[in-house]
Chains A and B, each alone.
Chain A
Amino acid sequence: MSGIELTSINKAFGAYEAIANLSLSVSPGEFVVFLGPSGCGKTTLLRMIAGLEPVSAGEISIGDRRVEHLPPGQRGVAMVFQNYALYPHKSVAENMGFGLRNIGVDKATVAAKIQEAARILQLEALLDRKPGQLSGGQRQRVAIGRAIVKSPEVFLFDEPLSNLDAMLRARTRVEIARLHKRLGATMIFVTHDQIEAMTMAEKIVVMSNGKIEQIGAPMEIYRRPSTRFVASFVGVPAMNFLEIGELRSEGDGARITLGGHDIRTAVPTADLSGALTLGVRPEAVRINPQGSIEAKVDVVERLGEKTVLHTQLADGQQLIAEDVGESRVRFGDVVRLEIDPLRTHIFDGKGVGHHPARSQADD
């Protein structure tokens, strides 16, 4: 079990700088998710750790070893590819054993390791099949099995769930989380799906344009997004962003005026500057007959356990609110809404997030 240390990593493709001066530390046994939109550099970063892509500058250490000049096979990593990358002409057992056979492990040990991995992943009945005879989910498990048999120091997953249907994806998510608990190995998982990140990660690294936007535990990222980008990328439905008209300090927080409505927040005003935006997640916007905001409902999404209301304010800004599953609100209704001051965020002119003081918000 080894940690990973990335120091001042640069990656340039010709004149284009994909990743600039990135440093990151992963603890031994940690499950880290690289989260970001396509083209943000998360897969490139993973491939550099794997050794499939050379670094332009910087250092990579796995455990105590500097690895950036080592070929992929000698870095002690195993990777699960997006399209599985199984060897189509080899059986499931041969697929899993290939890496061990190549480094001269004896047949009996290889067979034992294959059996062990097959047992963990319930692949025992499929060992003689070829990948072409397997379903997508089964191929996925073989790809994971191929990684397990090598007992690597680090597992790397490159969007491995994106080719599965929704049901299977949810199940595999749980399986991978279990596997992590069971093996205790360091795992890095790349995805653009924030649900995968939130559910599996111990630590999320949110990336955008080759830079790290925020590193933190899932709930930390969710509750205290450090930038407007993070706030907008994590959470479904996405956070509401409303342009702030006027702002004044009142008590612990800012009191703002927004399209004629008066809204109280718990965000301190001290560091605020530039064009300000109010950020509030839909679940912090609730129906309340005494609420200060009046809005017209234009779409009602009934999800069963809750109802998502898409509303429009008098000044034309959109505000998404949440109501209970049994909500009686209908299309066209005019409702009064209230925003929870402790769950508000203000983003300044540079997109930096400001949040209510920690002791209050973490209740």
Chain B
Amino acid sequence: MTDMTSTAAGMTAAATPRLKSWSWTELLFVAPYLLLYVVFLVYPLGLGFIMSFQYFDLFAGQAEFIGLENYQQLFSDRIFQGAVVNTFKFVIFTVPTFVALGLLIALALNRQTWWAATLRTLFFASNVLSVTIVTLIWRAVYLPQKGLLQNFLDVFGIQNIALLQDPNWALQAIAVTTIWWGIGLPMVLFLAALQQIPGEIYEAAELDNASPWQTLWHITIPSIWRTVVLVTIIQIIAQFQVFGQINLMTAGGPNNSTRSMVQFVYEAGFRQWTAGFASAAAQVLFVIMIVAAGLQFWVSRRKQEF
């Protein structure tokens, strides 16, 4: 509500040709939102930035300005380097899959039948589960010897699969869990977009001899391109922050192969109580996310103009 009020006030001001004088009542309307925004977002953000240049012991409550020392230490930290690589890998595993699979499921379920409605509900249902439940389910799936996956693989004579214990496969296994967990949102967003496309355009395409593939490529995808961009950016931002499922399934192991940046920040800040060092790592994550989302936005805008 406060958000809407502030936007409306902003628009009125922009639309007025000559702004007579700035009135305090205008600020009054924006104030509640502005207050929360400053106190809970701008202030901590600034504080975190300053903290990253300090030696800041949360436990002892000591703070001391040390310049770029946190960053120097961070960039030479092997574990942090590994966490950056892992996080990027995780984003590359999950984001394209979220987009492609979400679109595929939406295309398949974009029809008015009872089974499509049932499947839509099922695919979305996992989305409402908490991370604790999701990881519990998937640890049972990946359980060596007795897990669902092993039971399934037994049929094909494949023995002794322990994905979460394997440094080469643990991250992929967590990516699969994440996709199972989160696929409902991209699916719903794509479904909403697909339903906005007027049916007449598809009929025109039929009369234009467009094959199903040409129809998908020339009609459907360009029509929902904004949603493709939206889903991609939402997922980039979400997956760079992966933490809960990793913490609960592998705790960053085996051999740091699944340690993500947020987990690194968490451990530095709340296990070792070195908040300054953790803040520096958080700043790096922040910059990476902004650059990645911005890059994606820029690329997709260019592509729309072909």
Contacts and interface: CB of A to CB of B under 8 A. Distances in A.
Contact of B209 (A73, A83, A88, A89): A73
Given A79-B207, A146-B208, 12 more contacts: A72-B206, A73-B209, A81-B204, A85-B203, A85-B204, A87-B201, A87-B218, A90-B218, A98-B208, A99-B209, A102-B209, A102-B211
Contacts of A74: 209
B200 A85 contact: yes
A83 B200 contact: yes
Contacts, number: 65
Interface in A59-117: 71-74, 77-79, 81-83, 85-90, 98-99, 102-103
Contacts of B304: 89
A12 interface: no
Given A83-B200, A87-B201, A102-B214, A77 B222 contact: no
A207 interface: no
A50 interface: yes
A52 interface: yes
Nearest to A75: B207
Interface in A217-264: none
Main secondary structure of the interface of B (DSSP, over half): helix
28 contacts: A50-B207, A52-B203, A52-B207, A71-B206, A72-B207, A73-B206, A73-B209, A77-B207, A78-B207, A79-B204, A79-B207, A81-B200, A82-B200, A83-B200, A85-B198, A86-B204, A87-B201, A87-B204, A87-B205, A87-B222, A88-B201, A88-B223, A90-B222, A98-B208, A102-B209, A103-B209, A146-B204, A146-B208
Contacts of B204: 79, 81, 85-87, 146
Contacts of B205: 87, 98
A140 to B, nearest CB: 14
B219 interface: yes
Contacts of B218: 87, 90, 98
Query: 6 tightest A-B contacts by CB?
Result: A73-B209, A99-B208, A85-B200, A89-B222, A85-B204, A102-B209
A89 B218 CA distance: 9
B203 A81 contact: yes
Given A98-B218, A102-B214, A85 B201 contact: yes
A253 B66 CA distance: 115
- What range describes how many residues of A lie at the interface? 20 to 34
Contacts of A51: 206-207
B203 to A, nearest CB: 5
B297 interface: no
Interface in A128-159: 146, 150
A224 B89 CA distance: 79
Contacts of A71: 206
Contacts of A103: 209
Interface string B78-101: 000000000000000000000000
A51 B208 CA distance: 12
A89 B220 CA distance: 10
B113 to A, nearest CB: 16
Contact of A102 (B200, B210, B222, B225): B210
Nearest to B221: A89
Contacts of A87: 201, 204-205, 218-219, 222
Given A102-B208, A102-B210, A83 B198 contact: yes
Contact of A72 (B200, B203, B223): B203
A30 to B, nearest CB: 21
Interface in B166-185: none
A142 to B, nearest CB: 11
Interface string B237-268: 00000000000000000000000000000000
Identify the interface centre among A50, A82, A98, A146: most chain B CB within 10 Å of its CB.
A98
Contacts of A78: 207
Contacts of A72: 203, 206-207
Interface in B189-209: 198, 200-201, 203-209
Contacts of B210: 73, 98, 102
A88 B64 CA distance: 59
Interface string B45-60: 0000000000000000
Most buried by B among A51, A79, A81, A85: A85
B208 A89 contact: no
Contacts of B209: 73-74, 99, 102-103
B208 A73 contact: yes
A50 B209 CA distance: 12
Contacts of A150: 208
Contact of B207 (A73, A83, A86, A89): A73
B219 to A, nearest CB: 7
A302 B208 CA distance: 48
B222 to A, nearest CB: 4
A43 B225 CA distance: 32
The interface centre, meaning the residue of A51, A72, A83 with most chain B CB atoms within 10 A of its CB, is A72
A150 B211 CA distance: 17
